[in-house]
Amino acid sequence: MRFDPDNKETAPVLQLDQVVRTFGALRAVDGVSLQVAAGSITGLIGPNGAGKTTLFNTIAGSARPDAGEIRLRGERIDGLRADQVFHRGLGRTFQIPRPLATLTVTENMLLAPTGQSGEKFWNSWLARGRLRAQDAAHLAKARELLDFVGLSALAEQKAGVLSGGQQKLLELARILMVDPALILLDEPAAGVNPVLLESLVARIQDLHRRGVTFLLIEHNMDMVMQLCNPVVVMAQGRVVMQGTPQEVRADARVIDAYLGDAP
């Protein structure tokens, strides 16, 4: 299905068509086709080595596909650099968060917005008023988002002192600074204590109610079944099936590839 700008409710935000990514003789991503609908939380599951993270890297521009097409809001992004994909509205978190540890939480937030006037040195002399207004707006937005994810009390702390779960909340807040069309979440539950995980899930659900679209990789099946619909299952670089959480749990191919004898 092609993106129809006059029919945004049914058009996919993200569309992959026969995407391939190889490493020598290994086809880590082997002809993957899938769609992520606007406003959905789409889960991507599968055993270790299924190709999920490689697929994320290929979507986000960290790796280039060997074949196939990737479209974000109808525009091809396959072959673009990661920064170019980001500027087109795709945000991505990592299984291991990557804040700038020596900067404060707020400073990390303020690095996110693109197209800042201060990036052009002559604006420091020619457009000081505009710079001050833009800086004030970015700071206000950063404070609002830090409050949203529950990190306001740590705003002036160095990001390096945050726990793993807090760093994931910071990553999510930092991405929201640019109002992305789609957020890729790479194992958001990994290494997060139950209390912070509950907070993270609540924030994702809140954003979903506001219309934010997510594609997430996750091994925590309880979280997947709670958050995601549809769920896409990968094994050996290919999509095995896609369906509702209930359909995925009951599918024999999924049980064979991933869930084993789990009920």
Distance (Å) of CA 210 to CA 38, 205, 206, 229: 11, 9, 7, 16
Q: Could you tell me if 44 and 215 are in contact, meaning their C-beta atoms sit under 8 angstroms apart?
A: yes
Q: Are residues 70 and 191 in the same domain?
A: yes
Q: Which domain holds residue 25?
A: 12-99+179-259
User: Is residue 170 in a domain?
Assistant: no
**Is 253's pLDDT higher than 60?**
yes
User: Is residue 168 in a domain?
Assistant: no
Mean pLDDT of the chain: 87
Q: Count the domains in the chain.
A: 2
**Residues 45-87: pLDDT tens digits?**
999 999 999 999 999 999 999 999 999 999 999 989 999 999 8
Residue type, 77: I
User: Is residue 4 in a domain?
Assistant: no
Q: Which secondary structure element, helix H or strand E, spans residue 146, and what is its range?
A: helix 128-149
